[in-house]
Amino acid sequence: MKVSYNELQGLCRKAFLGMGFADGDASDAADMVAWMQLHELDGLEALNRGLDHVLAEQQEPARAPATIYADDDLAVLDGQSYSVLSSSSLALELGFAKARARGLAVIKIRRCHNRQLIMGYLARIAGRGMNVTAFWRNGQRPLIEQVVGFRANGQVPEIRVYAINQVPVENAHNDGVTLILANHVELLPDMRSAYDYELLACHRESALLASRERAMLDGITIDDAVWNKLKHLAARILVESTEASRSGAGPEVNDND
Amino acid sequence: MMERISPREESLRLRAPERVMDLERLGSLHASRLSFTRSLIRQMARQRWQISATRFELDSNGHGTAIYRLQTPCGRYHGVIFSQPLPDDARSDRVIAEAWDVTFGVVEGEVDDALLEQMAANVPLQEAGRQHPRLLVLSRANRSLRNFNAFSQALSAGRQPDPAWLTRVGYLYRTTAVYGNGKFGIADFGRLRDNPDFQRPFSAQMLAVYLLRHFSIQQVEHIARCQAPGVAVDLATPLKRYLGIGNSTGLGMAPFLINHPQLIERWVASREQALAQIHAQPPSEDQRERLLALLDRAGCHLAQTLTADADQEKRNAATVSELPEVSTWLAQVPLTDNLWQELTEWGHRAFSLETQELINTLLLELYPAIVEPFENRMGVDEELELTPEMPLVRLKQLIETHYDWALAYDFDDPDSRYWFWYRSVEKEEPRLGVRGHDPGVDRELKLAIAPRVVDTHRAVIAYLDAQPHATVVDFLIEHSRYKDIVRRIQTMAETRFGDIRANLWDRNMQPMHLLRTKLSFFGAGRFDPKSDRWVRITLFQGAPLVEELNAEPDDLRDFDDWGFPLEPVLEASSCATAQGAMTDTQATNGVAS
């Protein structure tokens, strides 16, 4: 099925509210998913894969990241195993504040999942004139790394996903994401490593802009089953109708005048 | 001689936000030359847009399909209208309706058979259909049965309908929703951002309504011709001009005003900046004469505006009674350089809100060269953004400076927290519930900004007690639920006029003011509230006709002068009276007025 960007964003927002997200988190999470889908990066599929986890974590009282360490240009946060949909926006805002003050900031969010979805918020930070790059590892053997870099005021990133064939000895499970923010210096991924690697995916800015253009013209393709799941979640915020509420809200039910 | 003042002087002359953003004042605005209907008509005339019918296949009852082509210098569009039979018991203006007399859309580009087939299968279903991404607008409308029957009967009898019909109800059709921006699969507004034809807010929606107006004229003439070939007459041009399109709007419009604060601020700021420029202009005798004529016309228009709503009737009557005083004063005073400023200030002291804002609306008519550049500044890239590095103490100051009006409410008073807003399961219609009485408070829509600001202020003060040097992001990491309201406060504090000032929980809050704010910027006239929660209005009444547009008028000033239309006077012998027609129709339909 085809939907519009605004429609996707709107339904996601309502679905996140239905899941129990606070208003600001629901809007951010919806923007993150819709941004991915707009650029043909399968945001809905990423959400769908982690949906049970996201639903479960909404039962927890506090879902913002907890600060483990912070100084003027570095912070380490504990994502507490929540989705980046809940935990990344304020971590990135923290990095933004530090980079504005110090020129460059590094933020590490430990223990988070759904990391693909962080891209939408990186776009937002970049839109405010900040160079920003995110790095994370997806698998251990083969070791898969992903780098997403936006230039300041860029609408789309350069993305590289690659497998490292020579796995280091120290290869502990890493479910974090490292964010580097720089006021003045571009931090785009550029594959120049001497290591033996296999490029698994390469999304260039021009291709992502073309994807967006296509989606704006033809609509965004989505999976009907996921769409219906979101509609179901969105319905949780709706209030049952009564005769009194129906009659108070607008014109008569019959308007033959 | 008009001379633009500097931005600094303009800024000094702007009215204060506490006056401008007061909800009751916003709810007293009238359509103006900055309204979207007016600027669309100007754009169409200026750029020589042409509209032609490429299909008009209706049966004798007016049911079938019509397609209108719009050619602009930059592109081609089509208005596609489906007219179908509708049982009387299914005719409802509510968003919860499921069928309508006409459904229609505006398409970017050509309409081939495949697209027409897709539209025929989906447009009549409206929200329940999947709409094509080349649709810019999706809408539907219901007939005003009384007017429609009266008009078709009169025309088929070879007579003109009494203009009084249109004074009572100014249209043959009223829309009940005009969707844009990606609703139900249609094109996102983002797609129009670089389109010079429709990049202004709501201009595509206004075009859809304008095309429906043209269709309504052609359709009723067609039905009359079918009923009485050789006898029926076409509608007289003054009546065509006097015929608009209605709109029925309920609480569904209210969330938009709150969820788009930057856009609403931009609309208000454009109007206020234009007024500040005008206040600095020394008047000429011609301008005084023009304003006197406009005051006279507006007064007559309001005297001819009928509403069953006692409060609106009182407001109209107050304006009608105050305008002669304005005219007398204006006719007598010397032409000082500060005349417009003095008129406005006197208005603030002496007259009702509607009269004050009517004077401002008419002042905007005097200076097209000042006002028109603002029509391109009515849009804004909407994004509420955090400034995370801001010292938290600065946020506290912003709240106390820009949201002092919100801090002034006493939310311990039950009347200050009386209502709550929610979305109903019925087509997600926004509704109001009484807190502590109606179900749904656990799913409240966060539309009331004032209580959230008060709550944030309290939390910020508490945090600062422990962390006096904290930044905004420090605070939010510990209190993330304030993220969106802090974003809003920081963003709107940067604007000239900020948020609408009202407590949307308050027992005495009037949702009607929210609706009228938006409708006035659309260009609505003849506000006819049916309760404090829904209203009928008229768009494009008095506007130039398609054939006048196609004739490529030379005098755009005259072409653009169609605000506050008056009932046309036709030869008595050519008319069917409204009274007689009303009786006939009531007898036919059993409908009370």
- Give the pLDDT confidence score for residue B586 in this predicted structure: 34
Q: Please, what are the averages of pLDDT over each run of 10 residues along chain B (593 residues)?
A: 79 93 98 97 97 98 98 97 94 86 98 98 96 97 95 97 96 96 94 93 97 98 98 98 95 94 98 96 96 98 95 97 98 96 96 98 97 95 96 98 98 97 92 94 96 98 98 95 97 97 97 96 96 93 98 91 96 66 35 28
Domain containing residue A191: 64-203
The closest CB to that of A254, out of B89, B248, B443, belongs to B89
Domain ranges, residue B313: 7-31+261-380+515-520
| Contact predicate B540/B242, CB 8 Å | no
Distance from C-alpha of B380 to C-alpha of A216, rounded to nearest angstrom: 19
Q: Using a pLDDT cut of 70, give the percent of chain A over it.
A: 95
Query: Does the structure show a pLDDT above 90 at A57?
Result: no
Is A248 inside a domain boundary? Answer: no
**CB contact A2 to B (< 8 Å):** yes
Tell me which chain A residues have a C-beta less than 8 angstroms from the C-beta of B471: 97
The b-or-e profile of B330-345 (16+ CB within 10 A means b, else e) is: beeeeeeeebbbebbe
Collect all residues of chain B within an 8 Å Cβ-Cβ radius of residue A101. 389
Residues A85 and A54 in one domain: no
Strand partners, B58: B64
Q: Is there a single domain that holds both residue B156 and residue B83?
A: yes
CA closest to B169 among chain A residues: A257
B61 and B164, same domain (yes or no) = yes
User: Which pTM value belongs to this model?
Assistant: 0.94
Rounded to 5 degrees, what are φ and ψ at B388?
Answer: -65, -25
In a domain, B488, yes or no: yes
Pick the residue from chain B with its C-alpha nearest to A249.
Answer: B431
Question: Whole-angstrom Cα distance, residue A222 to residue B170?
Answer: 43
Q: Does residue A243 belong to the interface with chain B, where contact is any CB pair within 8 Å?
A: no
B219 and B285 both lie in a single domain? no
Output the DSSP codes for B248-299. EE-GGGHHHHHH-HHHHHHHHHHHHHHHHHHHTSPP-HHHHHHHHHHHHHHH
Using CB atoms within 10 Å of the CB of residue B484, give its burial: 0 to 12 exposed, 13 to 18 middle, 19+ buried.
buried
Give A134's DSSP letter. E
* Position A173 pLDDT exceeds 90: no
Whether B133 is covered by a domain: the verdict is yes
- Using one digit for the tens of pLDDT, what is the confidence trace for A197-235? 899 999 999 999 999 999 999 999 999 999 999 999 999
Residue recorded with tokens 């709706």: A238
Residue B508 within a domain: no
Tally of structural domains, chain A: 2
End-to-end CA separation in angstroms for chain B: 51
B27 plus B43 within the same structural domain? no
**198-217 of A, contacting B, C-beta below 8 A:** 216-217
ipTM given for this complex: 0.94
Task: Determine whether the interchain pair B133/A219 forms a contact, defined as Cβ–Cβ distance below 8 Å.
Answer: yes
Q: Between chains, do B484 and A101 touch, taking CB under 8 Å as contact?
A: no
Q: Which of A24, A128, A217 sits opposite B483 (nearest CB)?
A: A24
Residue A232 CA to residue B44 CA, distance in Å, equals: 44
**Tokens 């916003």, residue located:** B26
For A107-125, b/e burial (b = at least 16 CB within 10 A) is bbbbbbbbbbbbbbbbbbb
A144 with A230, same domain? no
Three-state SS at B555: coil
Q: Which residues contact B495 (CB under 8 A, 6 or more apart)?
A: B262, B265, B269
Q: How far apart are CA B9 and CA B420, in angstroms?
A: 42
**Option in A97, A244, A255 nearest B473 (CB):** A97
Say whether both B407 and B475 belong to one domain: yes
Which among B95, B431, B477 is the nearest to A67, CB-wise? Answer: B477
* A126 shares its domain with A1: no
The verdict on residue A137 lying in a domain is yes
Contacts of residue B198, defined as CB under 8 A and 6 or more positions apart, other chains included, come to B136, B192, B204, B207
| Positive/negative CA dihedral, B173, B175, B180, B185 | negative
The reply to whether B133 and B200 lie within a common domain is yes
Between chains, do A254 and B487 touch, taking CB under 8 Å as contact?
A: no
Q: Is A3 on the interface with B (CB under 8 A)?
A: yes
Question: Within the 101-130 window of chain A, which residues sit less than 8 Å (CB to CB) from chain B?
Answer: 101, 127-128
Indicate whether B47 and B131 sit together in one domain.
yes
B333 and B265 in one domain? Answer: yes
